[in-house]
Structure 1
């Protein structure tokens, strides 16, 4: 009985960490969109956008960590690990495109990333699980 309670507590804390990390990622992507608009208005805002890029990349790595922690010890679905790893790959491409000053690819990819992050946030916050299985209690 105690192991069931401990497993449930681990799952709940891992799920909360995952929710916070995807919310942080979505918020930082929104911040990046805002600073990109400011950058179009004035080149002095490049520093703010650059700092935001680093924070966004860190938030994406945090999401990968949260997804792995929710999957392995909590026995959750591996699907969020794939989603978070995909975000990390897209973030890496964004960094390369930003450094190369390729706004024709950088901007649409940023919009796509924000949209996907909002969808993923909705999935995580709604509590849907594709792998939900009934548990037997004695």
Structure 2
């Protein structure tokens, strides 16, 4: 049986989901308030869509998107440049024994949703669905 490249097991544990959501909310608050000492980062509005943690909670991958979707590469660079400060803030606010290493990736969920909507609008697909 072929392995699904997106899931390597039963999925995230309740603890991973809970900690991921705590980190997501904390990152969102910190970025919205402009608590980071980087004026370039504070000028941007960034949405943190999801945070996934590794099973041992040592790595947290945040899926982010700048408001309006413009400047995606810049956002990833700025977040990576400030990840030490963000990690300290997250560690302090979330209350974990060890703050996870933060990694940042573009959130492509909205792009996939748009692609799906376009697919459902195609005449051939509509005909198949109507039957």
Q: Structure 2 length normalisation: TM-score?
A: 0.29
Considering fraction of residues, name the structure with more helix: 1
Structure of higher RCO (CA pairs closer than 8 Å, 6+ residues apart)? 1
Which structure features the higher share of strand residues?
Answer: 2
